[in-house]
Structure 1
């Protein structure tokens, strides 16, 4: 191996212990770690004496403020109007459902009332029909019985009987 132009840096023995631990934990030699540290500070332009790294803090704070401002702007432009619109839409939907339910309930009540009326009319009609059948059967039976009692030669009485039965049926 060729000898490079090497410079030496003198630092306290206590610092060398820390330096060796850091190099060991990173899996580097002390020389490799030193080269990387110099390269890091050269590229990032960070001040090694500033442990808190004010530049990073300022950048983070600036980005945080920018994100917060963006979120607040989006909240005012989009989120709040969307929420208000959704609330109005939900209220409108509730009103529509309420109106629809009222209309359906009223329509159902009317339908039930009409069905009950129709059922009553049909029941009455069936009862009337049965009553008329019974009366007609009674008239027919009386006619048959009376005709048989008259015999065969009483034409005038048979005609009177037929007229009487016709009138009775007519008034059913």
Structure 2
């Protein structure tokens, strides 16, 4: 069992550490040393790199720290911001709803008023047409009446002043012409 032994010189602190490790594992220093060499040889790890377990523990510890920080920030900042945003969205919905109700109500009232005004305008147009037609009819009637009057005056002047009966017939004819108008 005694192989050819080589001696490795190391510092007192390294020796103390090796001694503590061997006591903790319950193995001899020589066995612990050879197991360390085998471990590094099999895993192709560089002993100057940080120990994977230490790195994992450090990362896990950092992860826990970051998660704690994020959770505290979430409670302090994110949740109140989220609640504020939800409240703002709710208020915006209420404002939009109120605005829509008011605007739609005003638009309906305005539309009803415009429709009523359109009806009134149509009635006014009909009335104006009727008035213009009557005015035109009145003007035509005046012209016809003037023609009847002119023909009466002309016929009367032609008769002279001595024919009473013919004057009466002429007056009667003029009356009938006016009644026909």
**TM-score (norm: length of structure 2):** 0.56
Q: CA deviation at 1:64?
A: 2.5
Separation of aligned partners in 1, 2:106 and 2:42:
91
Larger CA Rg, structure 1 vs 2? 2
Once superposed, what is the RMSD of the aligned Cα atoms?
Answer: 3.3
The alpha-carbon distance between structure 1 residues 80 and 104, as it changes in their structure 2 partners (threshold 3 A), is same
Q: Are 1:147 and 2:146 counterparts?
A: yes
The alpha-carbon distance between structure 1 residues 96 and 140, as it changes in their structure 2 partners (threshold 3 A), is same
Match of 1:136 in 2: 135
Separation of aligned partners in 2, 1:58 and 1:150:
129
Q: CA deviation at 1:65?
A: 2.3
Match of 2:123 in 1: 124
Q: Are 1:72 and 2:101 counterparts?
A: no
The alpha-carbon distance between structure 1 residues 108 and 20, as it changes in their structure 2 partners (threshold 3 A), is closer
Q: CA deviation at 1:59?
A: 2.7
Q: Are 1:61 and 2:95 counterparts?
A: no
Q: How many residues align?
A: 123
Match of 1:115 in 2: 114
- The answer for unaligned runs of 5 or more in structure 2 is 1-5, 9-29, 155-181
Separation of aligned partners in 1, 2:55 and 2:142:
122
The alpha-carbon distance between structure 1 residues 21 and 91, as it changes in their structure 2 partners (threshold 3 A), is closer
Separation of aligned partners in 2, 1:83 and 1:21:
49
**TM-score (norm: length of structure 1):** 0.59
Q: CA deviation at 1:111?
A: 1.1
TM-superposition CA deviations, 1:88-121 (whole Å, max 9, x none): 0110111111111111111111111111111111
Q: CA deviation at 1:61?
A: 3.4
Separation of aligned partners in 1, 2:139 and 2:55:
117
- The answer for unaligned runs of 5 or more in structure 1 is 1-6, 27-35, 47-51, 155-172
Superposition pairs of residues 38-117 of structure 1, within 5 angstroms? 40=48, 53=53, 55-117=54-116
Moved segments of 4+, more than 3 Å: 7-12, 18-22, 55-58
